[in-house]
Structure 1
Amino acid sequence: MKKLVSLLLSMLMICSLAGCGIVIDGEGGSTGSKASGASGAIGLSISTQNNPFFVTLAEGAKKAAKQAGVPLTVVDASDDATKQVSDIEDLVSKNVSVLIVNPVDSDAVTGAVEAAIAKGVRVISVDRVVNGVDIDCQIASDNVAGAELATQYIVDTLGENVKTAELVGTSGASAAIDRSQGFHNIADKKLKVVASQTADFDRTQGMTVMENMIQADSSIQAVFAGNDEMALGAVEAISGAKKDVLVVGFDATDDAIEAIRQGRMGATIAQQPDLIGSTAVENAIRLTKGESIPKEIPVEVTLITKDTVDK
């Protein structure tokens, strides 16, 4: 009898303690205690793994997750906004506690993120914002300031009023919008912008667009590209046309750094994508533990030129 009473009391104590942590259909997810299902699992929806910048970002996230011993699932949207919505829905169905999202399109992802939050999933955005949704945290470089640095480098190197072309990133991506804004903040006052066209953050498209720009105006003197992939594509087009044009990019990828060393590119902006990825995972873990995190975490950017590339 005593054994039975003891067993019943033990079961009652376990149930009482367990009841404190129960989350049903994500209830309480926005109150700040624990994330949906308290699984501790993290999902990372990345815009593309075709871009070295985002490969490095994902690697930084994976390394941080491995060091912490937490499960991390990474899904690649392949620059397809519709696929990304499906990817996010799939991650939520697998009961991730925290969703880290790098949007293909800052507007297109809104509905999927809202649905995730409604189910108690905590959300962190990286590199690009999610428009129209109150998420837990945004981790990104100051894209406007970085583009201003890059554009000022053109002015400092070639002088004012030089003919300059712009290669813009994916339409709707906040990074593309912010970098274009930063470019125009300086260029509209100090340079002569003769062409501006989207090349979707892609090297091949960057080359094609640049070829067309050169054919339309062979006197272009400088190019600002919203990322290094487009910049490297522009470099190929310029080389093929045997032109001398200053090309500036953004991201400081390995290929861009080597192009700067060789004098084929003028400059790029370093953003530390590995740090963005690891910082996202570290803060996701804090959320799963019921800790508070900042709404915005900026990551410093720096200008890389031939004079500073190996410093």
Structure 2
Amino acid sequence: MKRLKRMFLVLFAATLATSLVACSLKKDSGKSKEKTGTTTTTAVMQGAEKYAVVLKTQSSQFWQDMKSGIEIKAKELGVTVDIQSGNTEDDVEGQVQVLENFISTGKYKAIGVAPISDVNLNNAIAEGCKKGIIFVDVDEKIDTKALSALGGSLYSYVATDNKEVGKTGAQELLKQVGKNEIEVAIIEGKAGALSGEQRRDGAKAAFEKAGAKIVDSQPADWDRTKAMDVATNIISAHPNVKAIYCCNDTMAMGVVEAVKKSGKDIKVCGTDGNDDAIKAVADGILAATVAQNPKEVGARALEEMIAAVKKGITANKEIQQIGIKAVLITKDNAKKFLK
């Protein structure tokens, strides 16, 4: 009798353990997120379609926000997205290696790319196209003629209208300091980066149209310290400069430091709408920033990849350009953008 009772207890315990394991497996098969270094894998469900995105970097708020927008959209649409980047916006070799690794796995139907320059990923993209991978260009416009010569192609291009961004920033500076032959300067991004060049060109056109004199225009590689040094030299060489347009907020914050040290009243406008820049605008330290919407850019790029896969189209003869609207932030509206 005692033996029978013990056997019953053993069988009951085994059944209970099996049930608990099954429940655990069922719960774990749902949504999960795994982060390793510069990689983010958003695993939404078993068997989900797999996509990848190569960003410039993940060390600045702009790219962190874009990554967040992609992840949110992936969760919403039930797909898996692997996101990686180079270590910095100068890490050309690292970014190429990331893309080559993505392509070599054979796991991805479509890949979004935000190249450091307009040509640095072209060879890898061309190789991926030969394997039937769809590519969507994000933020930095790729030289499509150079890509085509290599046998590569794109499905679409998603970005902010950067010329309009530069124009908007310059016009706001002119509004704040006046248009009567004032001296102005431009702090550019990285030489050869098309997005920065387009912002510079947009600002330059607006300044020239208004009759402002551009006393200097120099790249500072998207870097705060470099921008501070460049601005310090500009202010020293041109003591009558009244306004400086910067092609991103990181550089704008460096320029603000240079202006403060000079003791002069010089208006500075940045670009991107970073949190610290918006606070600086609200506090009256920065004249304005032209806020991009990197979350929306990233989300829309993922939607484009998914649409292309569903349609079975690897490339378009005429690449569709999808512009995401930017917003001018001044002291009048900055508080509503503060987090």
* TM-score normalised by length of structure 2: 0.77
Q: Matches of 1:302 and 1:265 in 2, distance apart?
A: 16
Counterpart in 1 of 2:323? 298
Amino acid at match of 1:141: T
Counterpart in 1 of 2:115? 103
Q: How many residues align?
A: 274
Counterpart in 1 of 2:43? none
Residue number among 166, 189, 192 corresponding to 1:172 in the alignment: 192
Q: Tell me, which stretches of 5 or more residues in structure 1 are unaligned? A: 1-37
Determine if contact 1:252/1:270 at 8 Å carries over to the other structure.
yes
Residue number among 200, 209, 223 corresponding to 1:202 in the alignment: 223
Shift of 1:39: 8.2
Amino acid at match of 1:148: K
Amino acid at match of 1:158: V
Q: Matches of 1:265 and 1:115 in 2, distance apart?
A: 45
Q: Matches of 2:53 and 2:191 in 1, distance apart?
A: 22
Residue number among 47, 58, 83 corresponding to 1:49 in the alignment: 58
* 1:82-111 Cα shifts (integer Å, max 9, x gaps): 221111111101222111111111122222
Does residue 309 (structure 1) correspond to residue 329 (structure 2)? The answer is no
Shift of 1:73: 1.2
Counterpart in 2 of 1:130? 142
Shift of 1:291: 6.0
Counterpart in 1 of 2:92? 81
Counterpart in 2 of 1:35? none
Counterpart in 1 of 2:132? 120
Larger-gyration structure (1/2): 2
Alignment of 1:212-231 (within 5 A): 212-231=233-252
Q: Matches of 1:85 and 1:240 in 2, distance apart?
A: 40
Determine if contact 1:107/1:172 at 8 Å carries over to the other structure.
no
SS in 2 for 1:310: helix
SS in 1 for 2:135: strand
Does residue 260 (structure 1) correspond to residue 281 (structure 2)? The answer is yes
Q: Tell me, which stretches of 5 or more residues in structure 2 are unaligned? A: 1-46, 148-152
Q: Matches of 2:103 and 2:75 in 1, distance apart?
A: 21
SS in 2 for 1:282: helix
Determine if contact 1:168/1:199 at 8 Å carries over to the other structure.
yes
Determine if contact 1:39/1:97 at 8 Å carries over to the other structure.
no
Q: Matches of 1:253 and 1:45 in 2, distance apart?
A: 21
Shift of 1:121: 0.8
Q: Matches of 2:182 and 2:289 in 1, distance apart?
A: 19
Determine if contact 1:168/1:180 at 8 Å carries over to the other structure.
yes
SS in 1 for 2:204: helix
RMSD, aligned α-carbons = 1.8
Counterpart in 2 of 1:13? none
Q: Matches of 1:203 and 1:176 in 2, distance apart?
A: 15
* 1:267-291 Cα shifts (integer Å, max 9, x gaps): 1112211111111112222223236
Counterpart in 2 of 1:142? 161
* 1:9-55 Cα shifts (integer Å, max 9, x gaps): xxxxxxxxxxxxxxxxxxxxxxxxxxxxx983211111111221111
SS in 1 for 2:311: coil
Identity within the alignment, % = 30
Residue number among 172, 176, 181 corresponding to 1:157 in the alignment: 176
Determine if contact 2:48/2:79 at 8 Å carries over to the other structure.
no
* TM-score normalised by length of structure 1: 0.83
> Which 4+ runs in 1 deviate beyond 4 A?
291-294
Amino acid at match of 1:269: V
Q: Matches of 1:200 and 1:147 in 2, distance apart?
A: 17
